[in-house]
């Protein structure tokens, strides 16, 4: 029996080819490609295919995949009708877990995982990957309308993933700059090695459960406040601060009370989170393009950032990806409590890549326990219990 390490901290739970973090140097790469280059040159669709297949696609491969994604955005009316029975007060992540699990009932076939060599039936795995990734955005946008009592806006096939998501949410032609910023946000959130939700994918996937059961499990894990939801906290913090002048006092009070500043610092990175630098640049571009006519949260965020840089940079604590994404999502019209669902839409790419990797060399997860409970004792009749 091995030493017990709470949370399996530092324990290798898998071998993986998908992504790599160099926290000391502030580097993140998907399949070897630096995140900065993917953010500059790639799209969410291409990055998803890269994560899944391991190589950047040729034009024909990308076109075929993109075509499949577009054709698979529609969601059956049964799912829509079911959503109408869900309470509007329920959390969007709970809706998403339930809806993805339901979807699986319409696409049976995980028996095909068990039979094939290496545990993998390529056609089934590919088809389900496309179906899940394409529909995640639709489900999230549908719920935003349904929970307010309105009919959802059907997806369009003539738009990119990011454009169509904005369209389904707002019902307007998407602003090209916001669509590109969302595209980059999706790229940046698509994958980040093994965290709790991705680990869930491996554990649930290892029993050869259907990919819907697997992604539903990961959504459940991501829904916990210790995992997803930091960008929601950032926006709530900025709203609480209320104006740029109050940033310094707020930050100093929090630091004095030894409390975290939401969106500052990251467990994995000792230098600045490379994704934060990218989003910071995009935020600057957006402010410039709008001639400063942006949501007041931008100005508050910039003030908080300046104060934090002054107080925390020497400790290696910088703004992380969540600090900017929440502000940008607000500008795109996403309600705060939908942020984690949008994270899930993006991360479905990485989750599905890890699911495929797990299947290719599968072994069921069956760790052991240290029993620390009572020794054997005889049953005691209820009358004799003190």
Catalytic site positions: 266, 322
Residues of this chain, 6-65, that bind a copy of itself according to CB under 8 A: 6-20, 27, 29, 31-34, 37-38, 40-42, 46, 54, 56-59, 62
Which part of the chain contacts a copy of itself (CB under 8 A), choosing from 84-92, 178-186, 230-238, 302-310? 84-92
> CB-based contacts of 238: which residues, under 8 Å, 6+ apart?
297, 300, 301, 304, 326, 327
53: nearest Cα among 42, 70, 71, 65 = 65
148 is a site residue for a copy of itself (CB under 8 A): no
341 contributes a contact to a copy of itself by CB under 8 A: no
Closer residue to a copy of itself in complex, CB, 88/249: 88
Contact flag: residue 102 with a copy of itself (CB under 8 A):
yes
Indicate which single residue of 64, 105, 260, 289 sits in contact with a copy of itself (rule: CB under 8 A): 105
d(CA 152, CA 82): 13
Only one of the segments 65-73, 129-137, 258-266, 359-367 lies at the binding site for a copy of itself (rule: CB under 8 A); that segment is 359-367
Cβ count near 176 (within 10 Å) = 9
For position 356 contacting a copy of itself by CB under 8 A, the verdict is no
257 binds a copy of itself (CB under 8 A): no
171 binds a copy of itself (CB under 8 A): no
Determine which helix (DSSP H) or strand (DSSP E) holds 251, and give its type and residue range. helix 247-256
CA distance 35 to 345: 18
In angstroms, rounded to a whole number, what is the distance separating the alpha carbons of residues 357 and 120? 10
Is 197 a residue that touches a copy of itself (CB under 8 A)?
yes
Closest to a copy of itself by CB, 152 vs 205, is: 205
Is 367 a binder of a copy of itself (CB under 8 A)? yes
Separation CA 384–CA 386 (nearest Å): 6
Taking each helix axis from N to C terminus, what angle separates 211-222 and 196-205, rounded to the nearest 10 degrees?
150
Q: Which of 220, 262, 246, 254 is nearest to 98 (CA)?
A: 220
Site for a copy of itself contains 336 (CB under 8 A): no
Based on the shown chain and the rule CB under 8 A, indicate whether residue 116 belongs to the binding site for a copy of itself.
Answer: no
Q: Within positions 258 to 277, which residues make up the interface with a copy of itself, using CB under 8 A?
A: none
Interior/surface letters 242-252, b for 16+ CB within 10 angstroms, e for the rest: eebeebbebbe
Q: Which is nearer to a copy of itself, 89 or 259 (CB)?
A: 89
383 in contact with a copy of itself (CB under 8 A)? yes
């Amino acid at each position: 029996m091995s030493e017990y390490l709470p949370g399996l901290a530092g324990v290798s739970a898998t071998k993986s080819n998908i992504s790599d973090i160099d926290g000391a140097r502030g580097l993140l790469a998907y399949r070897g490609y630096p995140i900065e280059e993917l953010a500059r040159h790639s799209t969410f669709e291409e990055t998803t295919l890269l994560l899944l297949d391991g190589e950047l696609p040729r034009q024909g491969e990308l076109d075929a995949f993109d075509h499949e994604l577009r054709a698979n955005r529609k969601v059956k009316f049964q799912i829509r009708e079911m959503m109408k029975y869900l309470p509007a007060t329920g959390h969007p992540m709970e809706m998403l877990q339930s809806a993805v699990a339901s979807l699986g009932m319409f696409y049976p076939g995980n028996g095909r995982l068990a039979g094939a060599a290496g545990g993998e039936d390529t056609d089934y795995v590919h088809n389900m990957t496309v179906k899940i990734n394409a529909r995640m955005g639709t489900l999230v946008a549908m719920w935003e309308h349904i929970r307010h009592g309105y009919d959802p806006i059907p997806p369009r096939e003539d738009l990119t993933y990011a454009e169509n998501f904005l369209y389904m949410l707002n019902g307007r032609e998407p602003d090209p700059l916001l669509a590109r910023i969302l595209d980059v946000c999706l790229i940046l959130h698509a994958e980040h090695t093994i965290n709790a939700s991705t680990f869930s994918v491996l554990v649930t996937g290892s029993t050869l459960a259907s990919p819907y059961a697997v992604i539903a499990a990961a959504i459940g894990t991501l829904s916990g406040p210790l995992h997803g939801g930091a960008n929601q906290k950032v926006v709530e913090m900025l709203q609480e601060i209320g104006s740029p002048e109050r940033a310094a006092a707020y930050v100093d009070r929090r630091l004095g009370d030894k409390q975290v500043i939401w969106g500052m610092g990251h467990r994995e990175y000792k230098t600045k989170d490379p994704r934060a630098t990218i989003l910071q640049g995009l935020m600057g571009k957006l402010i410039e393009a709008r001639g400063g006519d942006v949501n007041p949260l931008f100005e508050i965020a910039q003030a908080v950032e300046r104060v934090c840089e002054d107080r925390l940079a020497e400790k290696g604590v910088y703004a992380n990806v969540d600090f900017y994404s929440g502000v940008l999502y607000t500008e795109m019209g996403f309600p705060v409590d939908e942020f984690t669902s949008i994270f899930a839409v993006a991360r479905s790419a990485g989750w599905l890549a890890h699911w495929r990797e797990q299947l290719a060399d599968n072994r069921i997860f069956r760790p052991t326990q240290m029993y620390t409970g009572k020794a054997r004792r005889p049953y005691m009749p209820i009358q004799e219990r003190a």
